[in-house]
Chain A
Amino acid sequence: AQKVTQAQTEISVVEKEDVTLDCVYETRDTTYYLFWYKQPPSGELVFLIRRNSFDEQNEISGRYSWNFQKSTSSFNFTITASQVVDSAVYFCALSEASNAGNMLTFGGGTRLMVKP
């Protein structure tokens, strides 16, 4: 069965600090897909990134970067020079190829608070 663990339930940082959100996953599939979503205070879910299991390249998008390590089953998310607008709940999610990607399993989320 697939499982996603986000051990950090809440993180508080001061603006301009760097912060890393951890995500550890479990799956028996060799092909799977990992996602990060952002949920700002307004409540909607915003897609941030998708990573396929066969692509271990790390990715950078502006102040956001993602570190995918199959050896430790982790897909961590780093925000550089955090801003107040980054305050949100962040979800990591996993989908397995064996169920045709029909079941997206979410972690419990990490609430990030960025203080001015």
Chain B
Amino acid sequence: NAGVTQTPKFRVLKTGQSMTLLCAQDMNHEYMYWYRQDPGMGLRLIHYSVGEGTTAKGEVPDGYNVSRLKKQNFLLGLESAAPSQTSVYFCASSLSGTGSTNEKLFFGSGTQLSVL
């Protein structure tokens, strides 16, 4: 199984450009998440989804939009990229929320995004 796959792995944008990051999982997981990782700040939750057709805001949602049209895919969009969005983005999935017994998140390999 591929697990959680993120595309692209690297991207450079100019300020004001838009782009979409794609996350795909083949584990039939209900929950999917988008995090950003910045030096010294760990990972911060941007948006998450508890099932197909649902999305919710996380800790740092401003400047991002998401969609979960298919269970296996979770898209993260930047409508007008800003230098403050330069970061490493991680997608994750889990069968159910981490409140379920022994549940844990499975992570993709990350997308390095630079906004100039």
Contact = CB atoms under 8 A, between A and B. Distances in A.
A38 B88 CA distance: 16
Interface residues of B, number: 31
Nearest to B98: A101
Interface string A70-107: 00000000000000000000010101010011111111
Interface residues of A, number: 26
A45 B58 CA distance: 20
Contact of B104 (A4, A35, A91): A35
Interface string B81-116: 000000010101000111110111111111000000
Interface string B41-77: 1111100101000001011000000000000000000
B107 A104 contact: no
Contacts of B104: 35, 47, 50
A33 B42 contact: no
Nearest to B101: A52
B98 A95 contact: yes
A4 B41 CA distance: 10
Contacts of A108: 40-42
14 contacts: A6-B42, A33-B98, A35-B98, A35-B104, A45-B90, A47-B104, A50-B103, A93-B43, A95-B98, A97-B99, A103-B45, A104-B33, A106-B44, A109-B40
